[in-house]
Structure 1
Amino acid sequence: MPDTAPAFPESRDVQRLALDQLLTRRSVGPLQEPAPEGADLDLILDAGLRAPDHGKLRPWRFVIIRGDARLAFGERLAEAAAKRDPANGAALGERYRAWVRRIPMLIAVGAVVKDGNIPEIEQVLSAGAAAMNMLNTIHLLGYGGMWVTGANVYDPAVNALLGFEAPSHLIGFITVGTPATTLPPMARPDRADHVVEWAAPS
């Protein structure tokens, strides 16, 4: 006969504490060193690799950009901006250089889209789920992060720089570090504004 006994109360308490902590997650802009490394970074990446994945295609790809590589990456972003927008490229280039200097670590997240029976949208959603898993883990480990998109994410030159050729593509950058300031709790949306319970038409 299968064991259907509920979890021990102590385990339930631990689970609730973890969920309470998860529900405090928010995007964190101002970041500073240290960024996660070693076992902490492995946990973050492993969480990404546990995303739902229809067809076991494993479409997720993560590119870590840290250390001096950030500065080189900032230069390439500046070059891409100048080609996209010659009139404003210089100003945009300085903005991107400053951005990567402020961020201890970037994780570029992309979907390696594969032909077959699984629609592209499901592969992209799987990569998005991987990004969310990583953001949650970043938060639970005491770090801060933010999911960033924008022109660079949709620029084929930036995609190619990071190894994504169409139909594969970036879905965003996760900025990672230690929160530079203590941020106040965020007001969360009211469930009633977003949740309905379906009932069969009579």
Structure 2
Amino acid sequence: MPQANLDALKFLLERRSVSHKTLSFPVPDRAGIDAILTAGARVPDHKMLEPFRFIVLGDAALNRLGGVVQIYGDQIGQDADKTAKAVFNFTNAPLCIAVVASLKPTDMIPEVEQTLAVGACCLSVLNAALASGWGANWITGWTAFETAFLQDHMGLSADEYVAGFIFIGTAKTEPTDRKRPELDAITTWVTE
């Protein structure tokens, strides 16, 4: 019989993202962030291509990006409400780990497999932050895929995008649980 890690299983069964709207200081220190990133990078990654990389954005960088997002959104004619939401996302939370999808050109590993590894990396970063006791939330939004913005203001290449902005901080309020999927509605059992 396998040895169960009951603490890990309990965490996974009860994990709950914390709204980025409720995050404030303090935030993890450098050692805490390194532990979160180490866990984040420890995902299935066929042929070890590392189709992801991290950008750690501190409070000053997030505030700078919030100002730039306002200007950029106005320049491209982005919906004013979407721009305001993006500005808030950047300026509200005190720390963010941007998980950058940096897929590698290869005939050996399909792009979709690399993309799935990047998604797994986002979830691992989120779960590591939550398991460390911090509040955390995975957000994307239009800025995650806006190539010119990402190149000019976050140093991404033309073929990269942000798979997830993982906002991290101290939760001001305890999150409530939400409706979860009905397993019977999404599960098919094949026994023969």
Q: What TM-score do you get using the length of structure 2 for normalisation?
A: 0.87
1:25-49 residue CA offsets vs partner (Å, 9 max, x unmatched): 1221111111112322111100111
User: Residues 59 and 93 of structure 2 are in contact (CA less than 8 Å); yes or no, is this contact kept in structure 1?
Assistant: no
SS at the partner of 1:68?
helix
1: CA distance, partners of 2:43 / 2:2: 27
Partner residue, 2:131: 140
Shift in Å, 1:73:
1.3
- Which of the numbers 120, 128, 132 marks the counterpart of 2:119? 128
2: CA distance, partners of 1:174 / 1:199: 39
Residue 104, structure 1, aligned to residue 127, structure 2: no
Percent sequence identity is 32
Partner residue, 1:51: 43
1:112-168 residue CA offsets vs partner (Å, 9 max, x unmatched): 121112222221211111110111111111111111111111111222132322322
2: CA distance, partners of 1:193 / 1:21: 24
User: Residues 41 and 121 of structure 2 are in contact (CA less than 8 Å); yes or no, is this contact kept in structure 1?
Assistant: yes
Q: Which shows bigger deviation, 19-28 or 133-142?
A: 19-28
Q: Cα distance 1:85–1:58, how it changes in 2: closer, same or farther (>3 A)?
A: same
2: CA distance, partners of 1:133 / 1:184: 21
Partner residue, 1:149: 140
* Unaligned segments of structure 2, at least 5 residues: none
Residue 42, structure 1, aligned to residue 26, structure 2: no
- Which of the numbers 150, 163, 179 marks the counterpart of 2:171? 179
1:59-104 residue CA offsets vs partner (Å, 9 max, x unmatched): 1111111131221111221222112216x55x65554443323101
Q: How many residues align?
A: 188
Partner residue, 2:69: 77
2: CA distance, partners of 1:52 / 1:18: 18
2: CA distance, partners of 1:198 / 1:133: 29
Q: What TM-score do you get using the length of structure 1 for normalisation?
A: 0.83
Residue 195, structure 1, aligned to residue 183, structure 2: no
Residue 23, structure 1, aligned to residue 13, structure 2: yes
User: Residues 78 and 92 of structure 1 are in contact (CA less than 8 Å); yes or no, is this contact kept in structure 2?
Assistant: no
User: Residues 22 and 139 of structure 1 are in contact (CA less than 8 Å); yes or no, is this contact kept in structure 2?
Assistant: no
1: CA distance, partners of 2:115 / 2:164: 11
User: Residues 109 and 171 of structure 1 are in contact (CA less than 8 Å); yes or no, is this contact kept in structure 2?
Assistant: yes
User: What is the CA RMSD across the aligned residues, in angstroms?
Assistant: 2.1
Greater helix content: 2
User: Residues 63 and 109 of structure 1 are in contact (CA less than 8 Å); yes or no, is this contact kept in structure 2?
Assistant: yes
Q: Which has the larger radius of gyration?
A: 1
Q: Cα distance 1:194–1:165, how it changes in 2: closer, same or farther (>3 A)?
A: same
